[in-house]
Structures are given as C-alpha cells and as structure tokens.
Amino acid sequence: MKKKFVVGSFDDEKVLFPAIKNVRRAGYKIHDVYTPFPIHGLDHAMGLRETSLHTVGFIFGITGTAIAVGGMGWIFTVDWPLNIGGKPHFPLPAFIPITFELTVLLSAVGMMMTFCWLCKMMPGVKKHHFNLRSTDDLMTMVIECTPKSNTAEIESFLQNNGAIDINVQEAEPGWWFGRYDREQKLYQTEEVGY
Amino acid sequence: MLQPLIHPLFKTRQFEDSLLKLIGNPTPFIDYFRNLWVSKLGSVNGFDAFLQDGIIEKNISASSVISEAKDTTNTSNRYQQAEPATALSGASFIGNVADASQKISAKKGGETELVLYEKVSIGNGSHGNNAWLHELSDPISRATWDNYAMISPQMGESLFGINIYDRRQSDAYEVNVDKPVMKVTANGKTIEIPVLIIPGTHPNVIAIALGYGRQSSQKEKTGEYIGRAAENVGINVYPLTTFDGTSISYASAVTVEKTSKQFPIARTQLHNITEGRPIVRETTLKDFKTNPGKLNEEEREELERYGEHFVPDATMYPTYEYPGLKWGMSIDLNTCIGCSACTIACVAENNIAIVGKKDVARMQDMQWLRIDRYFTGNPENPSVVFQPMLCQQCDNAPCENVCPVAATTHSSEGLNQMIYNRCIGTKYCANNCPYKVRRFNWADFRGADAFPDNQRGIISNATADLDDELTRLVINPDVTVRSRGVMEKCTFCIQRIQEGKLHAKIENRPLKDLEVKTACMQACPTQAIMFGNVNDKTTRISELRLREQKERKYYVLEELHVLSNVNYLVKVRNTDHEVGDIKEEHHS
Amino acid sequence: MSLLKYESQLREPLVDGDKNYHQTTEDIIGPIETRPTMLWWIGFSLSLLLLAFGVYSVYREVVYGIGQWNLNHTIGWGWDITNFVWWIGIGHAGTLISAILLLFRQGWRTGVNRAAEAMTIFAVICAGQFPIFHMGRVWVGFYVMPYPNSRGPLWPNFNSALLWDVFAVSTYFTVSLLFWYSGLLPDLATVRDRAKTKFRKMFYGLTSFGWTGSTKHWQRHESLSLVLAGLATPLVLSVHTIVSFDFATSVIPGWHTTIFPPYFVAGAIFSGFAMVQSLLIVTRKVLHLEEYITVGHIEAMNKVIVLTGSIVGCAYLTELFVAWYSGNQYEWWAFRQNRVNLFSPYGWAYYGMMFCNVVSPQLFWSKKLRRNVTFTFFMSVLINVGMWFERFVIIVTSIYRDFLPSSWSTYYSPSIWEVGFFLGTFGLFFTCYFLFAKFFPVIALAEIKAILKTSGENYKKKMTPVEKMDSEKFYIEEVEHAH
C-alpha cells in the first residue's frame, strides 16, 4: 500500500544532526534517513534501539561449538570407534581446530543470513529509493505523512532546517521482487522495510 | 592324467591335441585318453572309479596296469630322486689347487681388468624379457633395468673427477640420475657403457653384468618377439668375452676411456651409508661374546624405568589392548644375504605393479619390500649390510593419524590396515612414514581404473605387457589390484592370515604357529624372516624375541616411539676388521 | 560536530587532493562506467591463456594420474603443497587488513582493504585448487566431508591435520567472502543508483541486494562488520596455524616443530602484504587512484613488512638454533645438511629464502626507500619469491632426506604439468582480479566517505587555526559546542 512521504535531503552531516533533533521535537515521524556511508550517532539521534545482531552471532557460534564437539565426540566414541595410530577415542586437543572453525563458520554465516533477513536483502529484492543521490553524497531524510499531515508545512520546516531538494512522494514503503532495469513487480509484501 | 584341468586359454590347442594332429589322428585328446584307459581298465565304470579315486587299486583285475601304477603311487620315491647324483658327490679335484687358484686370480695383463658377471636377477640373460626381474634392484648397486660398469671410487676420481668421499661431490653424483659414460675396449671391441661408482670395488677392476642388451635379429621387433620388457635394456657385453678354444673367459684386460656422454641409471637407493644413524647395527663376534648386552644397552636403560609394561606406563594416554592374535616379524641381519627373493615373492603374492625404468629413475617404484644396502666398516674397503625394509606395522602409526579420511587404521591384531577404496590419495601418510615404505599408484599401472584409455604413452611398455589378457592370469586372485591414485603398502600378507584363520576356524582349533607364513618369509632361503603371533609366548617369534636372540633384538627408529612390530637382529661378524657405521670423519 | 573529530595535521592525510563526497564517487566508480582499456584486454587475455594452460595441466593430472608430476615415494608433496601454502599465505593480508586493522582503528586501512580482501579471496581460491588436485582420486575427494552416508557409518579422521585444513580453509574462504561482500553492498548500490545502461542497472541491482542506505541497516551493518572482524581476527591466525599443523603434527625432521604456528602466521602476513603492494601499486597507477592509495598507505604497509620480515627472520634463526640445541641427529641433519649446506642439492633454496625474506626487507628501515613506490614494487615481488622458497625449503628439503638414508630421494624438479598447474593459478588469480577491477569498486567508497572529513587533505587544512588555538580557548569552545 502506497504512502505519502515528504523527502528532504542534506549535503552535510553537521546540518543533518540538528535537523533530526528539531524534526523529532516537532513531533514528525521520521520514516528513515538514507545515508551514503555510516554516520556514527545517527541511530541514537533518531532514537533507534541498539541492534542485537551480535547476540545472534553468539548463539550461532555456540551452536557451532556444540555441533563440533558433540559430533566428533559421538562419531569417535559411539558411532565408529577406531584405533587410529593408537590415539585415544576422545582426543580433545585434536578436536580444537575443527571446533574453532565451526564456531566461526556458523557464527559468521548465521549472522550474515540474519542480517539479510532483518534488512530484507537478497538478490532480486527491490525497494523504493527516495533519492538516488542518497548512495552518493546526500543524506535523505524521509518523513512519513499521516492523512492529517500538512505536507507544505513539513516541506517548509525541512527547508528551514537546511534541507535541499525537498519533495513529496507517494511510495511503497516495503520491498518486492523485481529488477532495477524494469518497473514491474514480481512479488510484493506489505511489510515495512525495517 | 593332468590335474588341474583348465579351460583352453583363448584360441589355443592343448599340447597333446597337437601331437595327435601331427600323427594324423583326428580324435580329440580327451576322447583318445578316455578310450585308451577304458580299454586298459576294461570298463567305463573302472575308468570313472579311477578318476574319482585318483589311484588304481591293486585288486583291479587289469594286472597290466598294476606295475605301471606302482611308481606313481609311491610318492616318497620321487623325493628321494632329489638327492645329489653319485657322480657329483664322488667327484674330487685332483689338480694343483694353488696353481689353479693363482691362474684364476692372476691379473689378466694391462692396467685394468674387466670382470663379466651374472646378476642375481637376470642371470646369463635367459631372464632378459622378465619385467619383474628387470625391476628388481641389484643387491649391491641398487640399480634396475640396466647393466653398467661398476668402478671403484679411485677410478671414479681419476677418470671422471668424482670423489664420492667428498660430501659436495657425492651429493651431486647421488641425486643426479644421469651417470657418466665410459668407453671400454677389450679384444679389439669397444662398447660405451654408463658407470656406477661402487665402494669396495678393486681399484683396477671394472665389472659389467652379462645378459643385458638382448634383442631379436630384427632389432625393431625385439619387443614383439622377445617381450617388451627386453626392449632397450642395457648393453650386450658377451662380445667382450674371449674363447680360447676350450673355455670362455669372462675376465680380460681392457682399456677404459672417459666420454662426455651421460646416461640415466634408475636406482632405488642412492645413499650408501647410514650417516651414523642406529638403523643397521653390527658388532664383532668377539665383542658380542664379551658383552652381549651392549648392543641395545641404550634402549634397555631407557626402558628399564617402566619394566615389562612400558607401553601403557610410558604414556599419559590410554593404550589399546591386543587380545588374541598380534602379529610380529623378526628379521635377522646376520642371515640376510640380500638375494631379493623376498621382494619378488612379495611382488608375485601381492600383485605389485612394475613401473619401468623411467619411473624407477624418479623413484616412483612400487615394491612393498625393499632390501636396503648400507656400506659399513672401513670406507676404503667396506662391508655390506642388507636390511629388508617393509611396513613396520607400527602400533602408534604416524601414517594413520594423518589420513584425513581414515583410510588407514589399526586392526585388533596390530596390523596397519590400508583401505584402498576409501583412499583419496593425499600422500600425506607416505610423507609421514619414517620408514618410507608406503607406495603410491602414480598411474593406472594395472588397468584397474575407471578412466578409459589413460595408459597409452603413460605407463611403460613393460608394464603394459604385464597387463595383457594372458599375463594378467598370474595375478593372485586373493589380493585386489589397486587402481590409480591410491596408496598401498605391505599388509603382512593379510590374505594368508585370513586364510589361515579360516582353516583353523573350520577345523575348530586355534591357529598354529608357523601355519601362516608371509610370502617373504616363505621365500627366504636363509630363514632370515620369522613371522608369527607375539602374544603367544611359545611361538618361534616369541622365542627369538624373548629368549634366543634377546640381546640382538632391536627396532629401527625405536626412539620415535611408533611401536613398530618388526624387529631386527643385530649383525654379528666374525672378523677383526672395523665394523659399524661409516662416520663423517672418514670422508675427509 | 566536535572539533575533536578532526585528526591532527601531524598525521598524513589519507585522501589527497580537494575532494568532496561526490568527487570520491566519481573517482572510484568512474572506471567501472567506462569501456575497458586496451591494456585491460591484453592483461585479461594473457590471464585467460595462463588459466587455459593450467586447466589442461590439471586435466592431464586427473586423467593420467599424479605420475604426471615428478613427485615420488619420498617426496610426496612438492610443488603442489608448496604452492598451496604460498597462496594461502598471500590470502592472509586482506582479512588481516580488514579485520585486525579495523579492531585497531587504523584509518589507513580504508584505502586498501577492498582490494586486499578481494585478493585474499582469489588467493584462497587458488590455494584451494592444490589440496583438491593433489589428491590421487579427486573424484572421491568428498570423502573428507563428515556426512551420514550409505557406506556404513564412514566418517573422516578428525585427528588429521589435513582434515583440519579442509575446515580451516573453507571457513576462512566463506568468512572472508561474507566480510568482503557485506562491505561491497553499499558501494554496489552506489553503482546501481548511478547506472545508465540496462545491463548495469540489472547486474548491480541484483548484486546490491536492494541496499538503500537506511540508518537501521547501517547500524546492523556496522554491528555485522565489527563482529565479523572480531571473528575473522582469530580466524586469520588460526588458518595458517592449522596449515602449519600439517607439518608440525608430523614426525618428519624439519616439519615436527612447535615454532611453526607463529612462524607461519608472521610469514603469511609478510607475503600477503607484499602481494597487496604488488597489486595496489599497479592498480592505483592504472586506475588513477593515487589520491586514495597514497604513498602514506604504501609506507604503512612497508612498516608491517619490515616488522613481519624480521619476525620471520627470528623464526628462521630460532629453529636453526633449536635444531642444533635439541641434540636430535635427524633434526640437526635436516638443517645442517639439507638446508644450511649451500652445496647440498637444495642449498640454493635456503639461501634464496634467507636473502629475499630476511636480508632484503631490512632496507625498509630507511624512510626514503619505504616511500619509494618503484622500489617497493620490486621488493614486494622479491619477498613473494622468497616466501615461495620458504615453503619449498620447509616441505621438500625436509622430506627428501629424512630418517632412512636408503630412501633419500633423487633430485626433484617439477614436470611441465606441475609448473603448468602453478601458472594456471596465476591465470585464475589475475582473471579474477581483472574482472574485479573492472566491475567492482576497488576502494571501499562508503568507508572513504566516512573518514573523508577527518583525514582528507582539504579538510585537514581547516585544522590549522584550531591547532594554533591556545588550549584554554580551545577548551571553552569545545565545552560550548558540547552543550
């Protein structure tokens, strides 16, 4: 379902930070701020909560450790005990390398997949881009309008706070499957993009 | 009557059929034979009974056959015939011994003397088309697939400027497959032949093996007519012999000349001495009698701390028990004469591929059992020690630990097992084997591979010859042939062990000592190899290890604690000469 | 924004010239949007030719057997594993630069990390070919994977260092790839959003996974990068440690050495940085990126090279000393006769290694030479030759004469197919690198933008009045700013 947004772009992060403060103080709902590079402190300024992606990494990592030690231990002691070079059936030091590697592997792969899942990112996913220069040199602030919003008022508010290139867009906030060289949508979800 | 009967090979005719054909009798031999015996025995039933029993009983009425049957039934007679003929045993030499020996050993004039000899493998050349024997290393020179002139280190230095007592020069000489070529002229005939510098050769003697260079009258057809193993192998030196009207002389005066040519010689061992490593051990009889325990003093002192059970006591890890059978081997360096019969027995028993000269030259040879030869004692006049080296079946096998797919593991009988169809061919096990006894299938030597047409131009002609339909029939059906890309090694003739155990099981009795013999043990003419169950303290091998030869027993590279299951017995020489390792100091 | 966010002028700028955000985009994305040059085509074709030769060499080995190589029953590993260790060592710099330098907050990594990570991944791909194709039966190579199967409960041997290698190398490859690609996503989106052609829109649209630059995504992305860096740091150390276990856990004199893990890791970083130098010096020249990959970057890497080169030198001398001190005759022989003896068959390799790896990097103590780009290029090639010698020395000179003198090997020199395989991996590596340099941003654009205003030359100039300010006034301004 399409929604209406007021989009204002900034060319300097020094102007962006006070603008965000003012927009939030004024009670407008910031849909998102799109930036070409990570700006430290922006998430706090916007009032976003901390991500818990690292916790996911830890859980996947521990799973890897358990699979490795448990799996190798079970194989060598229960499923298929063999006399290999006179070594004991549960040679813990020899298990360390693989245990470590599996921990890292599961943690990294799990985190990456979780990241893609949370951000709704994968090949073929398409989203609406409010300003194409937001991956180049502009920081684009997008304010979500309610039916009661006065767009002109928001536009002038943004202008007063240093935004350039201000406009109003009707856009799909979610994601869909599609190609960037074509317009058609192959699949669409109602979910909001973050 | 012929036993066992086999089906005719391909489109061939039985010898007896050919005889019948020659005399113009159209009857097949089987009918002819049957008719003959039916008529002699008087009835078909009599013949069938004869077939079934294998013998003709005396009470059979046909008295005419009884006397004929008598010889064949009395088997003991046959063996008695093997005794030396009286003509030989009664022979005595009536000439002047001193004179004769002087004649034989006299220098045959000139600076250098040529000695033509027969190699243990090829003999006078009648085995010149046998690939197995060509690939068998000469006990002393360790060379295969060629004859060459063996020259002394002194001649090597004076003629070619190679001083093998100098480490730098010997290193270069050793690792280089190409050896210098020498021109030998004798009796007006000249040959060019590569040389090998062999310590212990008399300074003025060169020795060349006979029987090489065999070829068909049409040279290019040698492979086809004689066998592809005979193609381009060595040089025929029979022309250098002389005939004085009554006998052939195999020694003559020669002139030798250096050439600038080189020729590759494929050897399976390049380094001559032990470099002071306690690998082969020797002592004199005198020393042994005075202090027999001195030989393995170091080990004994080391192990004394742990007593009888040093294996479990000397490690923090749990150890494996080997209840029931545990196989071990003992090899006596005293009695080993380096004849290499064990190697050939092993090749025959275990279907080991031969690889041809080119691959031996780059040390891709396949033999599971080799006989290492070391020169010891005085470097100017060294002695030789032979050491048969095969898989030591280590209980703490370094090869097993490193295999990523567990293709080599330890059996409950202490055998280091190799699972061919699990092997992925990383060669890691061979690298990690301190004894370097693992052998890799570098190419599809046996035609056992799933890849079609991948042998032509890759494996040697001689190897391909052994793979033809007829020759393949010599392959031992009890042993699998290995495909390309897998590791293989000595298994202590596991197929014989299994057979022995099955026999015992069928007869519901324990396996007897010496019931299972490995092929090498069986072939050894001097009984240098003893194999058996070491858990049973009454077996021959336990007898050797624990009592008879306790003082002489040692393990090669025991300090690595790989717990090898093959022990060696120290060589004891009855001599006043220097024995033991040639040390570095001697080189200078 | 606080004035303290600016970096001192005492530090060299990391981005030279008068840049703003858009200009950096133009400079870095520009080369992707033009047609390949003639030079690119020539280089790419040569790489493909080498690759084709390599493929044929491997074909021969797979169809006819390892006998196509000159290995033997004494030297079971020769050029194959030498090349494996060499490549995997080279593949250490990228992740080290990205991960360890990220954790150490080294700003200069941003100019070089993208190319270095790409190089890591290609080097690991090349490295992986050797253990795969050194197998006699590569078609059953999947036996190394532990999975329930119908051949009875058959499992691999978890005691084998070679199996650890399988896990280490594949994990390293996967994690490096994820790390590299997650960093690429925003930059690919930049290319996508600038794209004019249908192909670029489609291709970069697919590869950028629909990245928008949302603040929440950046937050997660930062967290992902940090944790991946935290994981990759011990991982990068573990990989070469485990590769060294191939040798260290064996019984062979010259291999069985506890010093190997740190020694291998230092050597890996050493050779990896040298390879990064070789590639980047050419890349910055060809793509005109001198302002992003500055002489300062090159000098920083040369400092790492002289440090790791010295560590490696210490390791060489330590193992030599320990071989003598151990009193183990086999170990001492492997060093005294097989290596240190110049006139032994492989003496040349040991002295080549000593010269290239220990002696020559010491020249980098001179600042003038450290900042000389041509000299650095020459040295980086020399170091990689030296590191190849090191692996050859370790592998071949240890096993060619080990315990039993009866098995001492003949002189091993590679067959044409062994050399071909090695050349083929060069072909593979450069094919990948040429494609990467053409189709992907070779510098981490988003990261450059993030440091531009602190470390860019034009921005740093603005620091001059601040640095001349007296401290009291500075403090007052700071406090006023903060509140």
Q: Which of C104, C85, C126 is nearest to C263 (CA)?
A: C85
Q: Residue B500 and residue B285: Cα distance in Å, rounded? A: 39
Residue of C nearest to A128 (CA): C212
pLDDT category, C290, cuts 50, 70, 90?
A: confident
Interface of B with A in 403-422 (CB under 8 A): 403, 406, 409-412
Give phi and psi for C180, each to the nearest 5. -65, -45
Can you tell me whether residue B441 is helix, strand or coil?
coil
**Contact (CB, 8 A) for B530 and B329:** yes
Greater pLDDT, C153 or B291: B291
Q: Residue C107 has what pLDDT? A: 74
Residue of C1, C154, C159 to mutate, testing the A interface (most A Cβ within 10 Å of its Cβ):
C159
Sorting pLDDT into bands at 50, 70 and 90, what band is C5?
A: low
Specify the pLDDT at position A103: 95
Count of CB atoms situated within 10 Å of the CB of C44: 18
pLDDT of C7 reads 63
Residues facing A33 on adjacent strands: A141
CB contact under 8 A, A86 and B319: yes
> Which of the two residues, B64 and C353, has the higher pLDDT score?
C353
CA nearest to B325, candidates B493, B522, B497: B497
User: Among residues C367, C189, C388, which one has the least CA distance to residue C271?
Assistant: C388
Kindly list the residues from chain A whose CB atom is less than 8 angstroms away from the CB atom of residue C198.
181
By CB atoms closer than 10 A (0-12, 13-18, 19+), residue B278 is middle
Q: Residue C79 burial by CB count (10 A; 0-12/13-18/19+): exposed, middle or buried?
A: buried
Predicted TM-score of the model (pTM) = 0.88
* Least confident piece of the model among B407-421, C16-30, C344-358: C16-30
C442 in Cβ contact with C436 (< 8 Å): yes
Give the bridge partners for B568, in sequence order: B331, B554
Q: What is the mean pLDDT of residues C295-314?
A: 90
pLDDT score recorded for residue B336:
92
Mutant choice from A15, A119, A120, A138 vs C, greatest count of C C-beta within 10 A: A119
The helix/strand count (H/E) of chain A reads as 5, 7
Q: Do A84 and B409 touch (CB under 8 A)?
A: yes
In this prediction, residue C3 carries a pLDDT of 45
pLDDT computed for residue B426 by the predictor? 93
What pLDDT score does B408 carry? 93
Distance from CA of C137 to the nearest CA of B (A): 5
* Segment (H or E) for A164: strand A164-171
The tokens for C275 are 């390879």
Alpha carbon distance A86, B395 (integer Å)? 6
Of the given ranges (B194-198, C26-30, C270-274), which has the lowest mean pLDDT? C26-30
Q: Is the pLDDT of residue B69 over 70?
A: no
Mean pLDDT of B58-67: 52
How many whole angstroms separate alpha carbon C173 and alpha carbon C176?
Answer: 5
Q: Is A112 a residue whose pLDDT tops 90?
A: yes
Contact (CB<8Å) B320/A86: yes
Shortest Cα–Cα distance, B402 to chain A (Å) = 9
> Contact C405/B557, CB-based, under 8 Å?
no
Dihedral sign from CA coordinates of C178, C182, C183, C185: positive
Comparing alpha-carbon positions, the chain B residue that sits nearest to C145 is B405
Asked if the C-beta of B400 comes within 8 angstroms of chain A's C-beta atoms, the answer is yes
Report which DSSP code applies to B451. Answer: S
- Reading phi first (left if > 0) and then psi (alpha if -120 to 50, else beta), residue B348 is in alpha
Q: Which of A77, A80, A84 to mutate to test the interface with B (most CBs of B within 10 A)?
A: A84
C155-172 pLDDT tens trace: 999 999 999 999 999 999
Query: What is the average pLDDT value for chain C, to the nearest integer?
Result: 87
Give per-residue pLDDT as tens, B237-252.
888 887 777 777 777 7
B contact residues 432-491, partner C, Cβ 8 Å cutoff: 432, 434-436, 438-444, 451, 454, 458, 483-487
Pair type for strands B112-117 and B416-418: unpaired
Q: Is the pLDDT of residue B82 over 50?
A: no
∠ CA(B255), CA(B259), CA(B264), 5° rounding? Answer: 115
**H-helix or E-strand spanning residue A144:** strand A139-144
Q: Which carries the bigger pLDDT value, residue A14 or residue B143?
A: B143
**Residue B583 DSSP label:** P
Rounded average pLDDT over A113-120: 91
Among C159, C167, C198, whose Cβ lies nearest the Cβ of A87? C159
H or E stretch at A98: helix A92-119
B419 in contact with C, Cβ within 8 Å: no
Question: What is the distance in angstroms between the Cα of B413 and the nearest Cα belonging to chain A?
Answer: 11
pLDDT digits (tens, 9 = 90+) for B278-320: 899 888 888 888 888 787 787 888 777 777 777 888 788 888 8
Question: What was the pLDDT predicted at B70?
Answer: 47
Sorting pLDDT into bands at 50, 70 and 90, what band is C103?
A: confident
Strands (E), B395-518: 408-410, 416-418, 439-440, 487-488
Q: What pLDDT is attached to residue B505?
A: 94
Measure the CA–CA gap between C212 and B73, rounded to whole angstroms: 101
Q: Residue B441: what pLDDT?
A: 92
- Mutation site for A-interface testing, chosen from B392, B401, B411 by largest number of A Cβ within 10 Å: B401
Task: Give yes or no for residue B60 having a pLDDT over 70.
Answer: no
pLDDT at A166 over 50: yes
Is the predicted pLDDT of residue B587 greater than 50, yes or no?
no
pLDDT in tens, A27-69: 888 888 999 888 888 888 888 888 888 899 999 999 999 999 9
| Least confident span in A136-145, C98-107, C333-342 | C98-107
Quick one: pLDDT at residue B100? 65
The answer, for B262 touching chain C at a CB cutoff of 8 Å, is no
Answer yes or no: is pLDDT of C269 > 50: yes
CA–centroid distance for B159 within its chain: 33
Residue B2's pLDDT band, with cuts at 50, 70 and 90, is low
Mean pLDDT over C319-345 rounds to 90
* B370/C contact by beta carbon, under 8 A: yes
Region of poorest pLDDT, from A73-77, A120-124, B229-233, C4-8: C4-8
- pLDDT of B121 over the 50 cut: yes
Output phi, psi for A7, to 5 deg: -115, 125
Residues C175, C228 contacting (CB under 8 angstroms): yes
d(CA C422, CA C391): 14
What average pLDDT does the segment C243-250 reach?
Answer: 92
State whether C219 and A48 contact (CB < 8 Å): yes
Do the chains contact at A83 and B318, CB–CB below 8 Å?
Answer: no
* pLDDT score recorded for residue B75: 44
Closest CA to C65 of B411, B486, A63: B486
Neighbours of B372 (CB within 10 A): 23
Q: With an 8 Å Cβ cutoff, are C66 and B361 in contact?
A: no
Determine whether the interchain pair B399/A84 forms a contact, defined as Cβ–Cβ distance below 8 Å: no
- Using a CB-CB cut-off of 8 Å, the residues of chain C touching A97 are 164, 167-168, 238, 242, 245
Task: Please measure the distance between the N-terminal and C-terminal CA atoms of chain B and give it in whole angstroms.
Answer: 70
On the question of pLDDT at B546 being above 70, the answer is: yes
Predicted confidence at residue B534, as pLDDT, reads 92
Contact A105 C175 (CB under 8 A): yes
Beta strand spans in C93-224 (E): none
The sign one gets for the Cα dihedral B576, B577, B578, B581 is negative
Higher pLDDT, B96 or B383: B383
Q: Which of B86-95, B444-453, C271-280, C452-461 has the lowest mean pLDDT?
A: B86-95
- C158 to chain B nearest CA, in Å? 7
pLDDT of amino acid B89:
45
Cβ proximity of B463 and B352 under 8 Å: no
User: Could you tell me what percentage of chain B is helix, strand and coil, using 3-state DSSP and rounding each to the nearest 5?
Assistant: 35, 20, 50
Residues belonging to chain B: 588
State the complex-level ipTM. Answer: 0.91
Test A97 with C167 for CB contact under 8 angstroms: yes
In angstroms, the Cα distances linking A191 to A2, A119, B197, C124 are 12, 11, 86, 39
* pLDDT reported for residue B313: 80
C176, pLDDT greater than 80: yes
Q: What is the pLDDT of residue B77?
A: 43
Q: pLDDT above 90 covers what percent of chain C? A: 49
What number is the average pLDDT over the span C269-277?
89
Judge contact between A41 and C215, C-beta under 8 A.
Answer: no
Among B179-193, B389-403, B450-464, C151-165, the range of highest mean pLDDT: B389-403
Nearest CA in chain B to A84: B409
Q: What percentage of chain B has pLDDT greater than the value 70?
A: 89
Residue A13 is predicted with a pLDDT of 81
**pLDDT for residue B90:** 45
If pLDDT is split at 50, 70 and 90, which confidence band does B66 have?
very low
- Rounded Cα distance between C97 and C275, Å, is 13
Among C292, C293, C268, smallest CA distance to C280 is for C293
Q: What is the pLDDT of residue A159?
A: 87
Q: Chain A contacts of B411, Cβ < 8 Å?
A: 83
- Cβ-based contacts of A93 with chain C (< 8 Å): none
pLDDT score for B81: 41
Chain A contacts to B (CB-CB under 8 A): 82-88
Report yes or no: A34 and A85 within 8 Å, Cβ to Cβ: no
The SS3 of residue B452 is coil
Residue C65, by phi and psi: left (phi above 0), alpha (psi -120 to 50) or beta?
left
The reported pLDDT for the residue numbered C128 is 93
pLDDT of residue B265 exceeding 70, the answer is yes
Residue B499: strand, helix, or coil = helix
Q: What is the mean pLDDT of residues A102-109?
A: 94
C410 touches chain B (CB under 8 A): yes
Q: Are the Cβ atoms of A97 and C168 closer than 8 angstroms? A: yes
Q: C366, C360 in Cβ contact below 8 A?
A: no
Å from C385 to nearest chain B CA?
25
pLDDT given for residue B101 in this prediction: 67
